[in-house]
Amino acid sequence: MASFTLTVPNAVVPDLLQAFADMYGYQDTIADAQGSTIPNPVTKAAFAKEKIREYVRDVYKAGKLKALTTARTTIINDADTTTGPITVE
C-alpha cells in the first residue's frame, strides 16, 4: 500500500490543529457513559488526521462518481445515436 505524507512547518502545527478542531467541532472534553465530563481520549492531532483521511476518501469517491456519470452520459448518447433510425409502423 502506498503512503501519503503531509509536511507542515512546526510553527504552524498548533494553529493548524486548532483550525481543524474549530472547523469540525472537536471538543476537549466529552461525556462518558455515566454522564461525567472527561478529557477527550482522541487528541487534536488524531482528530485532524481522521478529518484529512475522510476528505481524501470523499474526493476519491466523488472522482469515481464523476467518472460513472460521464460514462453513463456517453452510453445514453451512444444508445440514442444507434437507435435513432429505428421506426415503428
Neighbours of 26 (CB within 10 A): 19
pLDDT in tens, 3-51: 989 999 999 999 999 999 999 999 999 999 999 999 999 999 999 999 9
Task: Please report the beta strands in 1-89, taking only residues with DSSP state E, as ranges in sequence order.
Answer: 29-31, 37-39
pLDDT for res 83: 87
Give pTM, 2 decimals. 0.77
Helices (H) and strands (E) in the chain, counts: 2, 2
Q: How far is CA 12 from CA 7, 9, 19, 66, 89, in A?
A: 11, 5, 10, 34, 73
Q: How far apart are alpha carbons 82 and 89 in whole angstroms?
A: 19
Q: Do residues 8 and 16 make contact, with C-beta atoms less than 8 angstroms apart? A: yes
pLDDT tens, position by position, 46-71:
999 999 999 999 999 999 999 999 99
Domain-wise residue ranges, the chain: 10-83
Q: Give residue for cell 477527550.
A: 40
